[in-house]
Structure formats: C-alpha cells, structure tokens
Amino acid sequence: MTPASAVPVPASHLDAARDAEPATRAANAAMAARLPFADKRDFEAAGRGLIAPVPDGVVKADSGTVLWNLGEYAFIDGELAPATVNPSLWRLARLNMANGLFKVAERVYQLRGFDIANMTVLEGDSGVILIDPLTTAEPARAALAHYFAHRPKKPVVAVIYSHSHVDHYGGVRGVVDEADVASGKVEVIAPAGFMDAVGGETVLAGLPMFRRSQFQFGTMLPRGARGQVDAGLGKGIARGTPGLIAPTMSIEKAVETHLIDGLEIVFQLAPETEAPAEMHMFYPQLGVLNMAENACPLLHNFIPLRGSVVRDPRIWSKYIGDAIEMYGGRTDVLIGQHHWPTWGREGVLEHLAAQRDLYKHIHDQTLRYMNKGWRPAEIAEAIDLPPGLADRWSVRGYYGTVSHNVKAVYQRYLSWYDGNPCNLHPLPPAPAAKKFVEYMGGAAAVIARARADFAKGEFRWVAQVMKEVVFAEPGNEEARALCADALEQMGYQAESATWRNAFLYGAQELRHGVFQVPARGTIAADTLRGLSTDVFFDMLAIRIDPAKAAGRSMVVNWHFTDLDEKLVLTLRNCTLTHRLGSSADKPSASITTTRATLDGMILGRVKIPDALASGAMRIEGDGSRLAALFAMFDQATGLMFDILTPGDGR
C-alpha cells in the first residue's frame, strides 16, 4: 500500500457536490431492501473487549499539527444512510468507527482506529511483541502510549511485520529505537522476501502509485455524506513520518515455529497473496489465529486501484484452506491486521471457509468464461457471488469488487489484451477522443444526448462518453461538469469505499482542477537504505532519459566497502544494466565508496565533489563518468500528473 497523506481541502469542494438523483435514491433503496441489515453481530464484535477509545479521537505531531482525527467523521452518527451513500457502505463506515484499545484474549490486545491498520500487542513473559506498527511514527507512538496507559509498562522485545505494505511497518520508529534493534534488544521479524517486496512496489512504481492512491483512499476529499466516508480497510491513512527498520530475522520456511519471550508463534508463509511477502501467525498457547490481511471481513483486491502486481487468488484461497486445516481445530479467536476479530471456533471456521471460497469462486468463474472466449468487461458483468456468499456481510465488495477483481484474473492469465486486433494498436486517448467526438457530430451534440441519458439515470454511459469529450476538448467546462455529475452519482451508489472515493475524487478534480500537494522527496531515506543493491540500481535504471544518454556508453565498476559488494554497471543503447558480484577488466571508471554515501547522493544530501574531497568516495579512471551518469537521470515532474484530462504534451 502506498501512503497518500491527506492535506486540507477547501470546504467549497464539498459545497459544490450535488444531491442524489432519483435514480441513485432508487438504487440505494433497493440495496437497503436486499441485504440483512437486521443482523447486528458485527457491531457486537467490533465493540467487544473495548478498554478505552482513542483519546479525543486525535493524534497530533509535536508541532501541534493534527495527523489523525476521527472527529472528522462525526457525521456518521446514525443507522439510516443518507441518500448520497450506499447503505451497505454506510454500515461499514459505522463499524470502522470502533476505536481504541481492545482486549482480544489473554495476553492479546489490539489498537484500532489510530490508522487504517491495527497494531496487535502480544504480552510476553518480560516484554511486549508488537505486530504491524501502523503507517507513520507519530500515530504508532500514540497507540503504544495508549496501550501503556492501561496495561503494565514493559519493554518492546520484538516487532513483527506481517507483510510488505507500508501501513504495516512504516510507524516502526515510533515504537522502537533502531539502536535497540542493532544491539539485539529488539528483534524485527518479517516474511521471506520482505525487503525486495518493499522496494519493488514502493520504489520502482512509487510515484504513480502515490498519485493513484489519492483516488483509492479519497485522501483529499472532504469528509462528509457527499465526500469521503471510509476507505474500506479503515477510515483512512494517518499522516506523519513513515520509516523502516530492516528485519533482523526472516521467516524462510513454509511453516516455522519460534519461541519469542515465552510465547510460541507458528509462522505460515503466504507469499503472492494480498502482498508479495505475507505471513499468517498462530499462537497455540492462546488459541488465537492471526491471518494478517488475507481474511478481512470483506472482499479484498486482486489488483488495488492504486496499482500493483496482480495477486493470485487461486493460491490465496489455498493458503486460507491450509490455515483452516492446520489451525482451525485449535482456534478460538480469529484476528487480522484490519477490522475486528471473530470469536468462537464455529464462527472462525465459517468465516475462513467463506473467504477461501470467495477468492476461488471469482478465480474459477473468470477462467470458465475466459475459456468460452468472453472479454474482461463481459465477464465482469456476468459474474456475481453465488447464494451462500452473496448474503454474507463478510464478503461484500467494500475494498475490492467482483468487477475489477475479475479483470485482474483475466490480466494475470491473458494480459491486458482482449485478443481483438482492433484493440491491439489503437490511437492514444486524446487523438482517439477527438476523432470520436467529430464522428458523433461534435461536442455540443454529444453533450445534449448525454444530458438526456443523465436524466434517465444512465450515469455509467454518461461518464464514459463525457470522458471522450473531455479528452478531445480539455477546456470544455460543460463537458467537465457533466462528467463530474455522472461520476458523483456513481460514487453515491458505490458499495465499495475505493470505488466511491475514486468516482468522487474524479468529480472533484474535474470541477476544481488538480489539487497541488506540497513537494516531497521521491523516496524515504529509510526505504532507500533498506533496498538491496540489486533493486537500488534498477531504480537508477528507470530514471535514464534516452535523449540525454544518446550516443553515450560507459562501464563502471562499483565497490561498496560497507556491504562488501561489487558490481559492474554498463550504459549502452541508452539503457543501464548491472551484474552483481562482477568487475569489468577495462572499465571506464572504478568507484569505491559506501552505499550510505551513494544513498546520500540520491537523496540530495551529498554532493559528488564533497564526497571525493572527504575521501568518502574514490574514483579511478575517468572521474567525469559519475557526474555524466547523474546528468542523464530524468527529473521528476511532480506527483500530481493529470488523470482526468490528457495532460500537457499528449
């Protein structure tokens, strides 16, 4: 998960929102009549074991800046959903307001509502074991302080990262000191491949993921019945300072058992499920099973709207089935790193079986239609959940949806291409849009027809056709407004929090333009330091601008003395490649330095002349090659690139 910190948004943006159209009111009323809203068991579970809520519902930085504020959601104050919110999503938004310190079982506590994720606390014999220290340091520190305000003060002896998304590790510096990790006082435990997964998702594709995550989480939407009400996995993502302390212990085997401060923990690796590196945990002495983020009480994503490598629902289902077989008969409480627990062995087994079948059903039915020659959009319209699943709250599409998960399965097996050669090499969006609008009689004619369809409640089509007019004529305010109105109604009807946020934020950008956020570094220092040298040089390679590298070539030997690593870097054909553990016989230059020095250069904290003068870096051969290489790197043009319009130069 890529963090997308919220920034203040003008209240006028919410004032510009329209009310629910009759078609939206009818759609939401039909949803309210269809689902079992009389079932209140989830509300009982969400509140069970509460010791104390989040103090004032607020977390502040030392400067006084508010980083987390549940008070923004005070409007979620009743069972009856407003017409502008899908009633099923409204129900989840109410459930996700449960917050504070909760006792789950003996020696097991959870801190919920300090961020989008939960921090789980296991009480060991001499200290505490923290699982998933949230997204940023300040909320994590506040959460731990809240725990200690109500439980005995003991040292943190271990931190466990359940998986490689930042909301499950980024707050680590708020709960432990890196010096204690280095000295061995605190163990940091993670699944195999954790650091590579962090680098692959948040570094190589971090910028577009950050931008797209604004749509997924609605971070820059005003909170309100016509704005952001939830993020599916929780209310939203806390602001603050993300960090990373590299694991000191990696779980490598499929199943490993370790005794940590008197508590036996059975680790079950579940790679390529919700995250590339993920693991479940069973605590035999306590009868508690922790499924990390693989069995939340909702339908998760096979590809999140922010983007990721396609996840494998087939193996995801298999790992849930394995957990049932290995631990189900001994589990009294099921927890996860989002939402609330499930108590009772029968309820645990029922929940896990439904989750197992949910992911396998979508996978299998997509493949069934694929083998009939159906296309992604056609399959997405045809598949729904079967009886037995469709009426269960715990599998509703609040975060992922059947529709976009079906398309993810298709992409995993057959790629983005639907097999029709007409779609193999189409015009790019902007020139294609101009031709479409011309063929349809011009923008005015298209808008007139779309207004009639809007009045009939055909919002999906209106958004689709207005998108063409906006891309053909980005300055056409009438087209932008109508497209925004259609997206807004789609958002009001969406059961998925992520779909609602995307539709409403799309409408906001069409009406008010791209909201510019303060500039920030492209990568956090902790993350950069934690990258393997292999991924580090892949990161450099994606920054090469071919226009700047044209006609240039070089071979550079690198020796990192702090890591005792060598590699040879080759620039040829406007492309950077590297080989670890190698040295060229006749390099253009040979550079001896430390990774810390090179990290400082990338972060802009160390200049090449200064590094050479201080002896932090030595260059043999052509000393100009390093500066020449850095001059070939593309400079980021900013985070807030255009999505709803073609953008400059396209």
pLDDT digits (tens, 9 = 90+) for 91-148: 999 999 999 999 999 999 999 999 999 999 999 999 999 999 999 999 999 999 999 9
Same domain, yes or no: 225 and 179: yes
Residue 181 lies in a domain: yes
Measured between alpha carbons, how far is 554 from 569 in angstroms, rounded to an integer? 8
Site of tokens 């097991």: 108
- Exposed e or buried b per residue across 483-514, where buried means at least 16 C-beta atoms within 10 angstroms of its C-beta: bbbbbbbbbbbbbbbbbbbbbbbbbbbbbeeb
Number of Cβ within a 10 Å radius of residue 59: 26
Please give the pLDDT value at position 285: 97
Return the H-helix or E-strand segment holding 570: strand 565-572
Please give the pLDDT value at position 524: 82
Residue pLDDT, tens place only, 377-387: 999 999 999 99
* pLDDT at residue 4 greater than cutoff 50: no
Residue pLDDT, tens place only, 200-253: 777 888 888 989 999 999 999 999 999 999 999 999 999 999 999 999 999 999
Please give the pLDDT value at position 357: 98
Same domain, yes or no: 207 and 327: yes
Same domain, yes or no: 225 and 125: yes
Boundary residue ending a domain (457, 478, 512): 512
Calculate the alpha carbon distances from 42 to 38, 76, 105, 231, 343 in Å: 11, 17, 18, 18, 11
How many CA within 13 A on the CB side of residue 490? Answer: 23
Please enumerate in sequence order all residues whose Cβ is within 8 A of that of 609, keeping only pairs 6 or more positions apart, or say none. Answer: none
Max alpha carbon distance in the chain (Å)? 77
Same domain, yes or no: 450 and 562: no
What is the mean predicted confidence (pLDDT) over 417-428? 95
Measured between alpha carbons, how far is 404 from 216 in angstroms, rounded to an integer? 13
Greater confidence, 282 or 10? 282
Same domain, yes or no: 473 and 347: no
Same domain, yes or no: 157 and 86: yes
Same domain, yes or no: 505 and 531: no
Same domain, yes or no: 507 and 567: no
Please give the pLDDT value at position 618: 96
Residue 192 lies in a domain: yes
Return the H-helix or E-strand segment holding 402: helix 402-414
Measured between alpha carbons, how far is 59 from 76 in angstroms, rounded to an integer? 20
What is the mean predicted confidence (pLDDT) over 336-349? 98
Phi, then psi, of 208 in degrees rounded to 5? -65, -30
Measured between alpha carbons, how far is 550 from 572 in angstroms, rounded to an integer? 9
- Exposed e or buried b per residue across 588-609, where buried means at least 16 C-beta atoms within 10 angstroms of its C-beta: bbbbebbbebbbbbbeeebeee
Calculate the alpha carbon distances from 92 to 42, 306, 395, 490 in Å: 10, 21, 12, 18
Residue 196 lies in a domain: yes
Measured between alpha carbons, how far is 289 from 325 in angstroms, rounded to an integer? 12
Measured between alpha carbons, how far is 148 from 572 in angstroms, rounded to an integer? 57
Pairing of strands 565-572, 575-580: antiparallel
Same domain, yes or no: 476 and 535: no
Cα-Cα-Cα-Cα dihedral sign, residues 394, 57, 507, 522: negative
Same domain, yes or no: 110 and 161: yes
Same domain, yes or no: 333 and 263: yes
Boundary residue ending a domain (489, 512, 535): 512
Burial of 584 from C-beta contacts in 10 A (0-12 / 13-18 / 19+): middle
Number of Cβ within a 10 Å radius of residue 402: 22
Residue pLDDT, tens place only, 456-514: 999 999 999 999 999 999 999 999 999 999 999 999 999 999 999 999 999 999 999 99
Q: How many domains does the chain have?
A: 3
CB 499, CB 487: distance < 8 Å? no
Measured between alpha carbons, how far is 249 from 271 in angstroms, rounded to an integer? 17
CATH of the domain at 449: 1.25.40.880
- Exposed e or buried b per residue across 457-477, where buried means at least 16 C-beta atoms within 10 angstroms of its C-beta: bbbeebbebbbbbbbbbbebe
Please give the pLDDT value at position 640: 82
Residue 376 lies in a domain: no
Residue 403 lies in a domain: no
* pLDDT at residue 88 greater than cutoff 90: yes
* pLDDT at residue 69 greater than cutoff 80: yes
Residue 381 lies in a domain: no
Calculate the alpha carbon distances from 516 to 9, 483, 503, 512 in Å: 11, 21, 19, 11
Q: What is the pTM of this model?
A: 0.94
Q: Where are the alpha helices (DSSP H) in 542-594?
A: 546-549
Residue 385 lies in a domain: no
- Output the six-digit token pair for 98: 């449960």
CB 576, CB 570: distance < 8 Å? yes
CATH of the domain at 178: 3.60.15.30
Q: In the structure, what pLDDT confidence band is assigned to residue 15 with cuts at 50, 70 and 90? A: low
Same domain, yes or no: 210 and 328: yes
Q: In the structure, what pLDDT confidence band is assigned to residue 635 with cuts at 50, 70 and 90? A: confident
**In which domain, by residue range, is 136 found?**
11-365
- Output the six-digit token pair for 213: 């995550």
Please give the pLDDT value at position 639: 73
CATH of the domain at 625: 3.30.1050.10
Please enumerate in sequence order all residues whose Cβ is within 8 A of that of 635, keeping only pairs 6 or more positions apart, or say none. Answer: none
Q: In the structure, what pLDDT confidence band is assigned to residue 647 with cuts at 50, 70 and 90? A: confident
What DSSP letter does each residue of 62-122 carry, written as one string?
A: TTS-EEEEGGGGTT--SSSPPTTS-HHHHHHHHHTT--EEEEEETTEEEEESSSSS-EEEE
Residue 4 lies in a domain: no
